[in-house]
Structure 1
């Protein structure tokens, strides 16, 4: 039986943290900042974590990633 491959699109978007969670970047950070508040823009700069409800799905995609 062949090995399962890592989903390369997911590997470029997610990073494992030291505690085993998945780090991700926020959406809505490319353009049209004039419609967003300063607070919203500042909070979008920080990395976010993948919700626990989605974790199983993304872990399967990244199964071969170290």
Structure 2
């Protein structure tokens, strides 16, 4: 059987954690910040944990 290739687009966007979760960057952070409050902009910095309902689907893309 051939090896399963990793989806490179997903590999660049998501990181697997030690407990099996996924980290990713926030959405809505590229432009049009004048319509967002300071609190929203501050909370969009850094990374966040992906919702567990989506983790199984994205782990398939990252399987090596």
- Tell me which interval the TM-score lies in, with the shorter structure as reference length: over 0.9
TM-score (norm 2): 0.93
Match of residue 58 from structure 1? 58
Paired with 1:18 and 1:60, the residues of 2 have a C-alpha distance of: 16
Match of residue 21 from structure 2? 21
CA-based RMSD:
0.8
Q: Report how many aligned residue pairs link the two structures.
A: 64
Structure 1 gap ranges (5+): none
Query: Which has a greater percent of strand?
Result: 2
SS of the residue 1:5 aligns to: coil
TM-score (norm 1): 0.90
Structure 1 segments of 4 or more deviating over 4 A? none
